[in-house]
Amino acid sequence: MATVTIGKSYFDALLRSLSNNVTISKAEHDYLVQAVREYNLLKNALFRGGLTAETLDTLLSGQSGAMHEEPASTPYNINAWEETFVKPHSILVTITVPHSSDLSPDSENTAVGEGLQPRAQHSSGRVPNRTTHKDLAGIIRGGRLLDLFLRNDQSAAVSFVEGAQDFLTYTKRNDICLHTKWLEFRWNDRQFHVPPHVSNKIAGGATRNIIVRGAAGKLNTDQIRDHLDHIHNLVVVDIKFKNGDAYISTNSIHNALFARTYMMSRTAYKGLRIEWYPDECAAPLPKPSLRAQTLAQAIPAKPVSITNRYTLLDIDGTDADSDEDEE
């Protein structure tokens, strides 16, 4: 094969004279347009399902770790999420058992009392072993939950969408008992980061609870749990059927978003409406019990003895009573 050698200056001149446009066939153009469309649809679906931009970049980089050059403009702009949607204020609360705690004889396994006082009996410093997500969801009120997580060290972390401060204030003034142990609530050092797409869904009414309309005739509790069992970090807190609908309570909003997207893609849920229903933890905080108020009012006040404050000024050693007798 013959080789032609040209000077660098001539080669540079040829490059400058080339057009910036590339001519391709219509079939190739249609294929590229379809590929871009499918890529953006897939990416949007992954973001709605809980995938983060960092994870997507890692997947696209492949084994080499080198990212491909991004185009100057794309139909989907990830920064638009940050600019458009406001993240909800979420604060974590850590739940543990105080080192000094006790349970009154007439208390129930799960109870809320009035007046937090130091006790002295249990010293485990841990949430009871048999505590479940359902137990914790049953005692938390005052705001929607963003995430509920039981840790390996027998403590729990609760992230609120709103109402965290009010709930923590309530726990400082009221006893909360679970499985014969008093619970201690405090701020957590680590904050829960809310992805932009989750903020958007929360603003649109998303909660950690899913309702499947008309599911009673097609699905049962075991089937639903089996369908959702593979989703990482998803905990199905409870499933109940009412009026033909399935009410599914989970441990977090972002996991519920992924679960709902997955269910909508399954044949078993075809034709069924999958919606959100209110978080029971958003119910108002309970008011102090009448029994506690009655007991507080029934305790008689100690009589205050009336003394003569000027007794020490009596120089001659006689008191007022003796003076009165002499008179």
Q: What is the pLDDT of residue 52?
A: 73
- Choose among 142, 147, 161: nearest CA to 94: 147
Average pLDDT over residues 102-125: 33
Q: Where are the domains of the chain?
A: 28-65, 92-187, 205-279
- Choose among 203, 271, 214, 212: nearest CA to 236: 212
Kindly tell me if the per-residue pLDDT of 322 is higher than 90: no
Q: What percent of the chain has pLDDT over 70?
A: 66
Kindly tell me if the per-residue pLDDT of 310 is higher than 60: no
In CATH terms, are 92-187 and 205-279 the same topology? yes
Tokens describing residue 56? 């997507």
Per CATH, the number for 92-187 is 3.30.70
Residue pointed to by tokens 């705001």: 143
Confidence of residue 299 (pLDDT cuts 50, 70, 90): low
The residue with greater pLDDT, 45 or 327, is 45
Average pLDDT over residues 313-325: 50
Kindly tell me if the per-residue pLDDT of 274 is higher than 60: yes
Extended strands (E) in 101-259:
110-114, 145-150, 156-160, 174-178, 181-182, 184-187, 209-212, 236-242, 245-250
The residue with greater pLDDT, 17 or 317, is 17
Average pLDDT over residues 268-285: 94
Best mean pLDDT range from 45-59, 178-192, 300-314: 178-192
DSSP string, 250-302: ESBHHHHHHHHHHHHHSGGGTT--EEE---GGGSPPPPPPHHHHHHHHHSPPP
Q: What is the pLDDT of residue 175?
A: 84
Nearest-angstrom CA–CA distance, 253 and 279: 10
The residue with greater pLDDT, 101 or 317, is 317
pLDDT digits (tens, 9 = 90+) for 227-272: 999 999 999 999 999 999 999 999 999 999 999 999 999 999 999 9
Are residues 268 and 226 in contact, defined by beta-carbon separation less than 8 angstroms?
no
Average pLDDT over residues 14-21: 77
Average pLDDT over residues 89-101: 46
Confidence of residue 111 (pLDDT cuts 50, 70, 90): very low
H helix or E strand, kind and range, residue 40: helix 26-48
Are residues 90 and 157 in contact, defined by beta-carbon separation less than 8 angstroms?
no
Beta-bridge mates of residue 92: 159
Residue pointed to by tokens 């405090």: 186
Nearest-angstrom CA–CA distance, 132 and 136: 7
The residue with greater pLDDT, 214 or 286, is 214
Mean confidence (pLDDT) of the chain: 74
Q: What is the pLDDT of residue 155?
A: 85
Average pLDDT over residues 283-308: 63
Tokens describing residue 7? 């000077």
Q: What Cα–Cα distance (Å) separates residue 35 from each residue in 30, 53, 90, 126, 300?
A: 9, 20, 38, 53, 81
Q: What is the pLDDT of residue 205?
A: 93
Task: Give helix then strand counts, H and E, for the chain.
Answer: 11, 11
Q: What is the pLDDT of residue 24?
A: 84
- Choose among 149, 168, 169, 151: nearest CA to 159: 149
Q: Residue 218 carries which side chain, given as an amino acid letter?
A: K
Q: What is the pLDDT of residue 244?
A: 95
Q: Residue 51 carries which side chain, given as an amino acid letter?
A: L
Per CATH, the number for 205-279 is 3.30.70.330
The residue with greater pLDDT, 193 or 182, is 182
pLDDT digits (tens, 9 = 90+) for 21-79: 778 888 888 888 888 888 888 888 887 777 777 777 777 765 444 444 444 444 444 44
Q: What is the pLDDT of residue 297?
A: 56
Q: What is the pLDDT of residue 256?
A: 96
